[in-house]
Amino acid sequence: MAVGDSYRSVRHALYYATLVAFIALMLFPLYWMLVTSFKPNIEIYRIPPRFFPDSLYLDHYARTLEDGYFVRYLWNNFIVASITTLVNLIAATLAGYSISRYPTRITAVISFGLLSTQMFPVVGIVIALYTLYLRVSMLNTHTGLILVLTATTIPFTTWMLKGFFDELPKSIEDSAFVDGASRLTVLTRIALPLAKPGLLAAGLYSFMLAWNDFLFGLTLISSDKLRTLSVGISLRYLGEVSYDWGQVTTVAVFGTVPMFVLFFLFQRYLVEGLTAGAVKG
Amino acid sequence: MRRVIVTMVFLLATIGIVLAGGRQEGNAASVGGEGSPFTIRVATWAVQESGTVPYFEALKNDFETDNPGIEIEWVGFPYGQLREQVLIQAAAGNPPDVVQTARPWLPDFANSGFFQPVTGLLSEAYIADIYPEIRSDLLYNDELYAAPWFYGPFVVYYNADLFEQAGLDPDAPPTTYEEALEAARAISALSDSEENRIYGLGMTTGSVPVSGGAVLTMLMSFGGGVWDEQGNLIIDGAGNREALAFLKTLHAERLNPEGALLKDLRNLFAIGRLGIYIDQTWGMNGVMAINPDAADYARIALPFGTENSPPRSTLEGHLLTIPADAEHPEAAATFIEYVTSREQLAAYMESLPFLLARSSLGDMPELQESIVAPIAAGAPGVITAVPKHPKMTDLFLELTKIAQMVTIGGSDPAEATAAARAWADREL
Amino acid sequence: MVTRLRVRDEFFGLALILPASLIVGALIFLPVAQSVAMGFVDYTLRRNQDGVSWNNFANFVYLIETGELWNSWRITLLFVIGVVTALIVAAVAMAIALNQRIPGQRLLRSVVLLPWVTPTMIAALLWMWILQPQYGVANFLLRRVGMIEQPISWLASIQWALPSVMVASFWRQFPFVFIVVLAGLQSIPVELYESAMIDGAGFSRRVFSITIPLLRNVIRVVILMSVIQSFRQFPLVWTMTGGGPIDATETLAVLSYKQSFVNLNFGRGSAVATVWLVTVLVFSVLFTRLVRTREY
C-alpha cells in the first residue's frame, strides 16, 4: 500500500512537472519579448543575457509612442477587425441558420463550396483581387479590406454557428411557429438570443483572424493613413538596413497587449461557443 | 413573403451602412489639364523607416514649395515587398509615377515592360553627368531605365579596435581575400569580455536576393562570375570554384557566421563581435541604429581583390524608375532631378552614408565629411556591369544557394558550380 | 399547401445564405477560379500580354521535371504531419490535464492560450530573435543545460531550419487546437467518469476508454482544421527562412510565391497552388470518409 502511494505521488510530481514545463515553454517567448523591450540596446545583445532586467528601460516605448504612426496602425487594425467581425457575424449567422434549419441540396453545395475556399493559398489570389478592386474603385479603402477579410473568415464562422444552431432544441422554434410567428421572427427573437455564446465565439475567432492579417492589408492598402498593424510593423521596423530588436519587440508588445485584454474578457465564451459549435458540428 | 424580401433589403442596407462606416479614402484623384494641380505617387520603402523619416517629410515640403501645382503622395511598402507590390499595381494598370528601386530589381522591371526608359525624360546633361561605369549598368537594350539616387559598391567595413587588439594595423587594412583571411584568423583568436566568440570575416549568404549580389561580388573579384565579357556562361569556371573554396575555408575555420543576412552581420559588427565584413555603404546606418558608438571604430575600405585579379563589385544603390503607365512621367522626371540635386542629396546624406553617382557632385563638402569619403574616388572603378537578365532575382537566389552548399551543405566547390551550371543551362 | 410551404422554406433558406455566398463567391471563389485557370496557360507578368492559350500542362511538367514540386510537396507533408501530430498529442494531453480540478486551473488555461493572440508576423519575428545563432537566448539556454556544445544556426542549418519553423508554427497554432479539444472534453458528461470511478477504473483507464473514444469526433475536426491551417502557413516560413537554406524549408506555399512573385511566372505559381488545392481536397475527402466509415 505504502509503495503504491509513493509510486503514485512520484507519478503525480512528474505529471505536474511536465505540465509546468510545457506551460513555461509556451510562455517563455512572450516573456522574452517583454523583457527584451525593456532593455537598452547594449543589454539586448549581451550573452549571457539577463533574464530579469534590474531596471526598466523605457526609451523604446517612448520612441514608439512619440512617432505617432504606430498608434494609428493600431487604431486602423482595430477598426478593420471590429467591422469585419460585425459583418461576418451578420452574414455567418444567417448562413449558419439557413444550413442548419432549411437544408436543401443548394445550401449543401454552397456550404461545401464555402469550406473548400479555405484550402486555397491566399497568395494565389492577390493579383486577381487587386485587379477586381481597381475596377470597382475599392483599392485603398478599409471597406475593401473588410470585405475580403470577411470573406476569408465567413466559411469557418458559418460552420461554427451551424453547429451551434443544430444544438438548439428545435421544439422551442416549432411552438413559436404554432403561435403564428414568422420565420424571421423565430430567427431573430428566439434562435438568436439562444445562440449568444456561439456568436461570441465566432466573433472572437473572426476578430483574431482579421487582427492577424498581413497579405491583404499589404496589397489592397497603399496609403499610410489607412495601414494596418502587421504591414505597419513590417514597413517601419523591418527596414532595409537593420533588425532593431529592441524596437521590434516593443511594437510586438503593443500589438499583442490589446488582444490579451480582449481575450481575457471573452475567453470563457469561446470555450462555451466551441463546445456546442465546432465540436459537435 | 414580402416581409422576407423587405427584411433582406434591410439587412443588406445595414451591411452597407456598416461598411460605409469604415473610413474610406479614394485613390489620389488627379485633375487633368494644363496647369491645374495634380499629385504624383512615389513608391518607396524608405519613407517610413525610422532614421529617414525626417528627411522625407522635409523633402515633400521642399518639393511642393519649389514645384507649385505638384503634390507628392508617398506609397510606402516594406523593403521586402515593394518589388512585388509595384508589379501588381502595374499589372493592374495603376502604377505609381516614380518607384524607388533597389539595383537587383532593375532587370525584372525593365524586362516586364511595365517601365519606360528615362532617356527622353531626363535632360541630356543630367544623363551625361552620371559616371559611365554606373550608367552602363543601368542600360537595357541600350536605353537608360533608371536614374541613380545614390550608389555604393559592396565595401569592406572593419573594426579598428579589434584590429589593434589582434595586433593588426588599422591604417593598413587587407586589400585581397588572401590577406583578409590572415587578418580574420588573427581576429577570431580574440573573444569579447564575456568570452563570446568574435568572427573574423563576415560574408552574407542568407536566402535573400541582396546576399546574392554580395556573393556575385565575391565571385567576380576572384575572376569568376556568371557570364564573361562575350556573354558566355562561366558560372562553373575556375574563378567561381576558387571563390567557393575560399568561402568553404572561412566556414570550416568558423570565421564567418553561418547563413547570415546583412542585417545579422550589421548587428554583430555593432556589438563588436565581427572584425571585418562586406556590406553596402549605407549598411552602416543599421550598425549605428544599434550602437551609435560604432562610429568610433568603424572604418571603410574598397572591396577585396585577389592576388591575381582586381577588386570588383556589382552596382549597389537606390535607383529611381518611371513606370510605363505612369500618369505624370514629366513630373516624375522633375521629381527625380529634384531629389538628386546637390541640396537634397546633401540633406539625405546626413541620415545615410552613400556615394554620389554623378561627376559634378564629386566635390560636395558633405561627402568629404562622411564615413565613405576614403573610398569615394576609387569606387566607380570597381563597379562591374552585370547583364540585365530577366531571371536576375532568381539567379541571385541561386548564387546564395551555391554559397550555402559549400558551407553548411558541405559540398565540394566543383559540385556546387556544376549544380549552378545545370540550373543556368535550364533557366538562363 | 405543404409544397408551397416547403418552397417558401427553401426560398427563405436561400435568402439567408445569400449574403455570405455573395461575399465569398465574388472575393474568394472568382479569384481562385481565375488562378486555377492561370495554371494551365503561359502567364508571366508583363505588359501587353499576348492572348494566353492552353499550354498542355507545361507548367506542371516543368515543376515536375525540375524536381521542385516533389521537393516542396515532401517538405510540406513533413511540415504538416509533424506539426499536426505534435499539436494533437499535446493538445489532448494538456486539455485532459487542465480539465482536472487543480489549483490555478482557470488561470493556467487562459495563459496557455496567449500565443494565439500574437499576430503571425510578430510570432515569426519573436522566434527569429530567440533562435538567433550568436546572441539568441535559445542557444544560450541549451548550452547552459548541456544539450548542445556549439551554438547552432537554427534557421540557417539544413537539418534544423524546418524543425525550427515547425516549432514556431506549433507554438502559434497550439492554443486554438487546445481550446477546441478542451471544449470537447467539457461536453463529456461527468456521470460517465463517476460511474467508471465507482467501477474502480484508474486514471489512465478512464482516459483511454472514455475520454479518447468520446473525443473522436472532436479530434477528427481538429485534425482537419489544423491540416488546412498548416498548409496555409506561409508568412511564418517566408519571414523566418525565405524557403532556405538550399530549399530546406521551401513548402508549397513558398514555392508558389516564389514562382509567382520572384520569377513573375504566375502560370507556374498557380500550377503549384492548384496542386496544393487538389492535395488538400483529396486529403479532406479521404480523411472524412475513412474516419467516418470506421466509426460505424
Q: Which of B15, C30, C225 is nearest to A89 (CA)?
A: B15
pLDDT tens track for A101-113: 888 888 888 888 8
- Which residues in chain A are contacts of C124 at CB distance < 8 A? none
pLDDT tens track for B143-171: 999 999 999 899 999 999 999 999 999 99
Cα distances from B262 to residues B287, C2, C139, in angstroms, run: 10, 74, 21
- Which residues in chain A are contacts of B19 at CB distance < 8 A? 83, 87, 143, 146-147
Say which of A97, A148, A259 has its CB closest to residue C27.
A148
d(CA B175, CA A3): 75
Output B178 or A192, whichever has higher pLDDT. Answer: B178
- pLDDT value at position B30? 40
- pLDDT value at position A266? 78
Q: pLDDT tier at A140 (50, 70, 90 boundaries)?
A: confident
What's the DSSP call for residue A276? Answer: H
d(CA A62, CA B28): 33
Asked whether residue C296 carries a pLDDT value surpassing 50, the answer given is: no
Highest mean pLDDT among A58-62, B92-96, B316-320: B316-320
Say which of A91, A126, A183 has its CB closest to residue B88.
A126
- pLDDT value at position C284? 83
CA distance C31 to chain A (A): 5
DSSP three-state, residue B74: strand
Cα distances from B364 to residues B58, B373, C64, in angstroms, run: 20, 10, 56
Beta-bridge partner residues of B318: B102, B150
Say whether A214 and C115 touch across the interface (CB within 8 A).
Answer: no
Cα distances from C36 to residues A188, B324, C44, in angstroms, run: 40, 29, 15
Say whether B108 and C66 touch across the interface (CB within 8 A).
Answer: no
Render C158-177 in DSSP notation, one character per residue: TTTHHHHHHHHHHHHHHHHH
Say whether A95 and C16 touch across the interface (CB within 8 A).
Answer: yes
pLDDT tens track for A217-256: 988 888 888 889 888 888 887 777 777 888 888 988 888 8
Say whether A103 and C13 touch across the interface (CB within 8 A).
Answer: yes
Asked whether residue B398 carries a pLDDT value surpassing 80, the answer given is: yes
pLDDT tens track for C251-291: 988 898 888 888 888 888 889 988 988 888 888 888 877 77
Q: pLDDT tier at B19 (50, 70, 90 boundaries)?
A: very low
pLDDT tens track for A36-58: 989 888 888 888 888 888 788 88
d(CA A46, CA A53): 12
Q: Which amino acid is at B65?
A: T
pLDDT tens track for B46-68: 877 767 788 888 999 999 999 99
Say which of B87, B268, B324 has its CB closest to residue C45.
B87
- pLDDT value at position B157? 96
Query: All 3 cell numbers of residue C89?
Result: 498529442
Query: All 3 cell numbers of residue C286?
Result: 479521404
Say whether B401 and C247 touch across the interface (CB within 8 A).
Answer: yes
- pLDDT value at position B18? 46
Q: What percent of chain B has pLDDT over 70?
A: 92
Q: pLDDT tier at B28 (50, 70, 90 boundaries)?
A: very low
- pLDDT value at position B21? 43
Tell me what the mean pLDDT of segment A197-215 comes to: 87
> With a CB-CB cutoff of 8 Å, which residues 146-185 of chain A face chain B?
146-147, 182-184
Q: pLDDT tier at B240 (50, 70, 90 boundaries)?
A: very high
- Which residues in chain A are contacts of C277 at CB distance < 8 A? 119-121
Q: pLDDT tier at C3 (50, 70, 90 boundaries)?
A: low
CA distance B17 to chain A (A): 10
Q: Which of B225, B252, B227, B255 is nearest to B241 (CA)?
A: B225
Say which of A26, A121, A255 has its CB closest to residue C273.
A121
Question: Could you tell me where the DSSP H helices lie in B175-278?
Answer: 177-188, 209-221, 238-252, 262-270
Provide the total of helices (H) and of strands (E) in chain B, helices listed first. Answer: 20, 12
Cα distances from B263 to residues A167, B122, B205, B268, B315, in angstroms, run: 54, 34, 11, 9, 19
What is the rounded (10 degree) CA torsion for B249, B250, B252, B258? -140
Say whether C12 and B409 touch across the interface (CB within 8 A).
Answer: no
> With a CB-CB cutoff of 8 Å, which residues 285-314 of chain B face chain A?
285-287, 289-291
d(CA A151, CA C19): 10
Q: Average pLDDT of chain B? A: 87
- The answer for residues whose C-beta is within 8 angstroms of residue B192's C-beta and 6 or more apart is B198, B272, B273
d(CA C237, CA C250): 8
Tell me what the mean pLDDT of segment C166-184 comes to: 89
Q: What percent of chain B has pLDDT over 90?
A: 52
- Which residues in chain B are contacts of A223 at CB distance < 8 A? 25, 73, 75
Tell me what the mean pLDDT of segment C213-219 comes to: 80
With CA atoms as reference, the chain A residue closest to B45 would be: A235
With CA atoms as reference, the chain B residue closest to C46 would be: B112
Highest mean pLDDT among A158-172, B344-358, C202-216: B344-358
- pLDDT value at position A204? 85
Q: pLDDT tier at B24 (50, 70, 90 boundaries)?
A: very low
- Which residues in chain A are contacts of B55 at CB distance < 8 A? none
d(CA A205, CA B348): 45
pLDDT tens track for A59-103: 888 888 887 788 888 899 999 999 999 999 999 999 999 998 888
d(CA A31, CA A36): 9
List, in order of start, the domains of chain B with CATH numbers. Answer: 38-151+316-382 (3.40.190.10), 154-314+389-427 (3.40.190.10)
Render B314-336 in DSSP notation, one character per residue: --EEEEEEEETT-S-HHHHHHHH
Pick the CATH number of A60-276 from 1.10.3720.10, 2.60.120.260, 3.40.50.2000, 3.40.30.10: 1.10.3720.10
- Which residues in chain A are contacts of B283 at CB distance < 8 A? 241
Neighbours of chain B (3+ CB pairs under 8 A): A, C
Phi, psi of B356 (to 5 degrees): -100, 140
d(CA C278, CA C257): 17
Output B27 or B178, whichever has higher pLDDT. Answer: B178
- pLDDT value at position B155? 94
Answer yes or no: are the C-beta atoms of B103 and B319 closer than 8 Å: yes
Asked whether residue C222 carries a pLDDT value surpassing 90, the answer given is: no
Intra-chain end-to-end CA distance of chain B, in Å: 66
- Which residues in chain C are contacts of B393 at CB distance < 8 A? 262-263
- The answer for residues whose C-beta is within 8 angstroms of residue B419's C-beta and 6 or more apart is B402, B405, B411
What's the DSSP call for residue A68? Answer: -
Q: Which of A242, A278, A49, A37 is nearest to A165 (CA)?
A: A278
- Which residues in chain B are contacts of A237 at CB distance < 8 A? 50
> In this structure, how many other beta carbons lie within 10 angstroms of the beta carbon of residue C208?
11
With CA atoms as reference, the chain C residue closest to B83 would be: C261
CA distance B366 to chain C (A): 36
> In this structure, how many other beta carbons lie within 10 angstroms of the beta carbon of residue B350?
12
Asked whether residue A278 carries a pLDDT value surpassing 90, the answer given is: no
Say whether B207 and C19 touch across the interface (CB within 8 A).
Answer: no
Q: pLDDT tier at B35 (50, 70, 90 boundaries)?
A: low
Q: Average pLDDT of chain C? A: 84
List, in order of start, the domains of chain C with CATH numbers. Answer: 1-38 (no CATH), 54-125+174-295 (1.10.3720.10)
B75: contact with A, CB 8 A cutoff: yes
Query: All 3 cell numbers of residue C224?
Result: 482537419
- pLDDT value at position A29? 93
Answer yes or no: are the C-beta atoms of B97 and B331 closer than 8 Å: yes
Say whether A151 and C182 touch across the interface (CB within 8 A).
Answer: no
- pLDDT value at position A232? 86
Least confident of B95-104, B119-128, C261-270: C261-270
Asked whether residue A2 carries a pLDDT value surpassing 60, the answer given is: no
Say which of C23, C34, C35 has its CB closest to residue A151.
C23
| Burial of C141 per CB tally in 10 Å (0-12, 13-18, 19+) | middle
Query: HEC string of C250-267?
Result: CCHHHHHHHHHHHCCEHH
B23: contact with A, CB 8 A cutoff: yes
- pLDDT value at position B26? 39
CA distance C173 to chain B (A): 25
Q: pLDDT tier at B215 (50, 70, 90 boundaries)?
A: very high
Say which of A67, A86, A244 has its CB closest to residue B290.
A244
Q: pLDDT tier at A280 (50, 70, 90 boundaries)?
A: low
Least confident of A100-114, C169-183, C202-216: C202-216
Cα distances from A93 to residues A96, B25, B168, in angstroms, run: 5, 30, 73
Say whether A143 and B22 touch across the interface (CB within 8 A).
Answer: yes
Asked whether residue C217 carries a pLDDT value surpassing 70, the answer given is: yes
Say which of B197, B271, B394 has its CB closest to residue C263.
B394
Neighbours of chain C (3+ CB pairs under 8 A): A, B
- Which residues in chain C are contacts of A120 at CB distance < 8 A? 28, 32, 35, 273, 276-277
Q: What residues does each domain of chain A span?
A: 2-44, 60-276
Say which of C18, C158, C241 has its CB closest to residue B409.
C158
pLDDT tens track for A268-277: 777 777 766 5
Asked whether residue B125 carries a pLDDT value surpassing 70, the answer given is: yes
- pLDDT value at position C51? 67
Chain B residues contacting C via beta carbons under 8 Å: 1, 4-5, 8, 11-12, 15, 83-84, 87, 90-91, 108, 111-114, 196-197, 206-208, 257-260, 264, 267-268, 271, 273, 324-325, 391, 393-394, 397, 400-401, 404-405, 408-409, 426
Asked whether residue C102 carries a pLDDT value surpassing 60, the answer given is: yes
Q: What percent of chain C has pLDDT over 70?
A: 95
d(CA B23, CA A225): 10
